[in-house]
């Protein structure tokens, strides 16, 4: 785009560079408010947690490779099993898709210069990092949470679990929830208010619809979990009786509140994957998504209906039949938005001239696994079958095809897809295809046999099993699959590291993508776009005339906003520009708030409640300090 820019245009670009530049080095990363750098911080952090969760999975699979193995003690197994679940859900999939992909891509896709609240964005990251380190501290203190990620009471009560293990879990997840809530609010406001002129709701990328649905789900689902965790801490440490039968409490209260969060959570995990799929499919099929409005509606609908199905996790708890039937009906209904999307993806590929490069291959794998996991999901809406198969390895197979096959495959495909945008270099296509086949075969081999041993009677969460039940061969093949899968993942990692330094230059738009992130340079400048783009369709980067007009507007100085640290805001539905927002610059205060909050949670963990109050005060002071005005460059 910069090819035809002349003297006055270049002057404006230089001015933007000066206004938006951030300090270099470590200080720059610690104080950054640039959504792209925050996205990268999320990326590397979640990748590290993915590694930890993966090692936990491999240890679990090694212990289960043969009957009566003694690789892990039962206590260690329980801790690893719990940490594997907590890590993959709260420290990998959600922060990776929302924090890394969402942060990096949403402002670019909607033609904005940053998130709506850049400092709150930084705060979300630092709180996320701190909550992850807080929970992982437990591993090094040999007191990792050990009651499963679902943490059922009474098992998680002090009477049966007297150590700090569960306190790490409860406080860590409350801590993590603050970060997610702040991030979700930020995404909602950004998507509603910062869209480029002309990007009305019906022209918004489907990726953004998915992220909007996720963010709305999060702010309604998280309070339920937080309340549950607060009850748990109050009962464990301050003598309350929420879950205690002898004092009029009820252990099922935990399960209701947990799954009222936990099932929307499943859609929070899977929706970003839908968003990534609907980004990759049109690009490589070289055509628009078929049934675009229906797919957008389906993404929002799935998040909404997802709130009405939680009790299908509790079909064996003895709820009245009428309750079971209601929740089974809702669970059947939630299938429809998914079938709409599955057919929209496959028909779009069939109608296009698809080029099966690695990102599209991962989306192919995603569709296969999502359909497999979705179909077994339908089986769980058949109550008698659910009551037989629940809490067996059949469930483990089902939700790993959803959470790994369907949620993580698009993340892996997305890593390849947006790698050229982030680094300015191309990944190695041959290695990428090989890595696809390794992860595909590995995933199928790891999780498919679990259906069978589930029906053969193997319950979940057992640290060992007898040799007499015929489960050994299946378990061994699962373990072999897990190691093949690991090889595939390491190959992806290697490909990205290698290509970062040796990859061929990518240029701004190597795949001819339709959305706005491909309209700027790779990597994008700190201000994202020299000119705020204007939009007339859902695939604005395919509107060549409009993009040429951007260059002309740079010459004329229209919508360049080089008078300050600014981005335009627009109306919620039609995206008519209605004001110019002055954006805050880099700041140390989000990090300071996160440090104070961490100290607050450490004090709560060690039950120094008065000191905790002091740190809460410090955190509030830091919030006040961050709102102090600082001089703006002109």
Q: Which of residues 367-426 bind another protein (CB under 8 A)?
A: 367-368, 371-372, 375-376, 378-379, 381-385, 387-392
CB of 354 to another protein, least distance (A): 5
Residues in binding contact with another protein, number by CB under 8 A: 86
Interaction of residue 339 with another protein, rule CB under 8 A: yes
Among candidate residues 43, 42, 94, the one with its CA nearest the CA of residue 403: 94
CB of 135 to another protein, least distance (A): 19
CB of 90 to another protein, least distance (A): 19
Q: What region, left, alpha or beta, does residue 524 occupy, with left being phi > 0 and alpha being psi -120 to 50 degrees?
A: beta
Among candidate residues 276, 232, 223, 226, the one with its CA nearest the CA of residue 251: 232
Residues 70-89 interacting with another protein (rule: CB under 8 A): 73-75, 78
Q: Could you tell me the two tokens for 590? A: 């989000």
Q: Rounded to the nearest 5°, which phi and psi values hold at 71?
A: -70, -40
CB of 571 to another protein, least distance (A): 29
Interaction of residue 444 with another protein, rule CB under 8 A: yes
The nearer residue to another protein, 19 or 334, going by C-beta atoms, is: 334
Q: Which stretch binds another protein (CB under 8 A): 103-111, 134-142, 412-420, 449-457?
A: 449-457
DSSP 365-418: HHHHHHHHHHHHHHHTTSHHHHHHHTTBHHHHHHHHIIIIIIIIHHHHHHHHHH
- Alpha carbon distance 365, 518 (integer Å): 25
SS3 for 550-587, per residue?
HHHHHHHCCCCCCCCCEEEEECCCCCCEEEEEECCCCC
* Contact track, another protein, 190-229, x by CB under 8 A: ----------------------------------------
CB of 460 to another protein, least distance (A): 7
Report the half-sphere exposure of 456 (CA within 13 A, side-chain side).
17
Residues 271-310 interacting with another protein (rule: CB under 8 A): 287, 290-291, 294
Q: Which of 14, 355, 582, 633 binds another protein (CB under 8 A)?
A: 355
Torsion of CA 128, 134, 138, 141, to 10 degrees: 140
CB atoms within 10 A of CB 300: 17
Q: Could you tell me the two tokens for 328? A: 């089974």
Residues 505-564 interacting with another protein (rule: CB under 8 A): none
Q: Could you tell me the two tokens for 326? A: 């209601």
Q: Which of 112, 122, 127, 344 binds another protein (CB under 8 A)?
A: 344
Among candidate residues 58, 169, 78, 55, the one with its CA nearest the CA of residue 461: 78
CB 413 within 8 A of CB 366: yes
- Alpha carbon distance 562, 573 (integer Å): 27
Q: Which of 55, 189, 434, 455 binds another protein (CB under 8 A)?
A: 455
Interaction of residue 469 with another protein, rule CB under 8 A: yes
Residues 315-334 interacting with another protein (rule: CB under 8 A): 316-318, 321, 324-325, 328-329, 332-333
Residues 145-164 interacting with another protein (rule: CB under 8 A): 147-148, 152, 154-155, 160
Residues 222-261 interacting with another protein (rule: CB under 8 A): 245, 250-252
Q: Which stretch binds another protein (CB under 8 A): 32-40, 312-320, 478-486, 568-576?
A: 312-320
Q: Which of 8, 23, 162, 470 binds another protein (CB under 8 A)?
A: 470
Interaction of residue 66 with another protein, rule CB under 8 A: no
């Amino acid at each position: 785009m910069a090819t035809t820019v002349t003297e006055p245009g270049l002057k404006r670009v230089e001015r933007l560079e000066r206004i938006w530049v951030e300090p270099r080095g470590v200080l720059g990363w610690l104080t950054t408010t640039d959504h792209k750098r925050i996205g990268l911080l999320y990326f590397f952090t979640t990748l590290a947690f993915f590694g930890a969760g993966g090692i936990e999975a491999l240890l679990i699979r090694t212990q289960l490779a043969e009957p009566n193995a003694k690789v892990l003690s039962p206590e260690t197994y329980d801790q690893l099993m719990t940490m594997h679940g907590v890590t993959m859900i709260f420290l990998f999939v959600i922060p990776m898709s929302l924090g890394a992909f969402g942060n990096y891509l949403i402002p670019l896709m909607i033609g904005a210069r940053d998130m709506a609240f850049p400092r709150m964005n930084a705060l979300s990251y630092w709180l996320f990092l701190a909550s992850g380190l807080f929970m992982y501290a437990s591993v090094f203190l040999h007191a990792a949470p050990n009651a499963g990620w679902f943490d059922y009471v009474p098992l998680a009560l002090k009477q049966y679990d007297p150590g700090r293990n569960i306190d790490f879990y409860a406080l860590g997840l409350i801590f993590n929830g603050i970060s997610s809530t702040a991030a979700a609010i930020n995404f909602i406001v950004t998507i509603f208010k910062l869209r480029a002129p002309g990007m009305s709701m019906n022209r918004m990328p489907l990726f953004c619809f998915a992220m909007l649905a996720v963010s709305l789900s999060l702010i309604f689902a998280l309070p339920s979990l937080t309340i549950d965790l607060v009850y748990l801490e109050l009962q464990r440490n301050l003598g309350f009786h929420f879950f205690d039968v002898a004092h009029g409490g009820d252990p099922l209260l935990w399960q209701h509140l947990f799954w009222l969060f936990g099932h929307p959570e499943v859609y929070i995990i899977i929706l970003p994957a839908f968003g990534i799929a609907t980004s990759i499919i049109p690009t490589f099929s070289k055509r628009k998504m078929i049934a675009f409005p229906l797919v957008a509606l389906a993404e929002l609908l799935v998040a909404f209906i997802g709130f009405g199905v939680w009790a299908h996790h509790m079909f064996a708890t003895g709820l009245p039949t009428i309750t079971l039937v209601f929740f089974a009906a809702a669970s059947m209904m939630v299938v429809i938005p998914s079938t709409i999307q599955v057919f929209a993806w496959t028909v779009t590929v069939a109608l296009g001239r698809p080029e099966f490069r690695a990102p599209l291959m991962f989306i192919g794998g995603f569709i296969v696994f999502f359909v497999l996991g979705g179909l077994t999901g339908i089986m769980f809406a058949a109550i008698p079958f659910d009551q037989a198969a629940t809490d067996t390895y059949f469930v483990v197979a089902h939700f790993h095809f959803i959470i790994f096959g369907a949620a993580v495959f698009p993340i892996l495909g997305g890593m390849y897809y947006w790698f050229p945008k982030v680094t300015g270099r191309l990944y190695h296509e041959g290695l990428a295809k090989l890595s696809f086949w390794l992860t595909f075969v590995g995933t199928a081999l790891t999780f498919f046999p679990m259906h069978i041993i589930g029906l053969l009677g193997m319950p979940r969460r057992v640290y060992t099993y007898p040799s007499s039940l015929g489960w050994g061969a299946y378990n061994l093949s699962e373990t072999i699959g897990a190691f093949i899968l690991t090889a595939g993942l390491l190959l992806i990692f290697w490909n990205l590291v290698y290509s970062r330094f040796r990859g061929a230059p990518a240029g701004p738009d190597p795949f001819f993508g339709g959305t706005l992130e491909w309209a700027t340079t790779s990597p994008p400048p700190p201000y994202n776009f020299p000119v705020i783009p204007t939009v007339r369709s859902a695939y604005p980067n395919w509107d060549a005339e409009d993009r040429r007009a951007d260059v002309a507007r740079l010459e004329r100085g229209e919508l360049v906003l080089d008078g300050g640290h600014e981005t335009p805001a627009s109306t919620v539905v039609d995206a008519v520009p209605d004001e110019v927002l002055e954006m805050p610059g880099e700041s140390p205060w989000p990090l300071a708030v996160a440090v104070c909050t961490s100290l607050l949670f450490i004090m709560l963990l060690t039950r120094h409640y008065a000191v905790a109050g002091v740190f809460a005060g410090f955190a509030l002071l830091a919030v006040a300090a961050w709102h102090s005005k600082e001089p703006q460059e002109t």
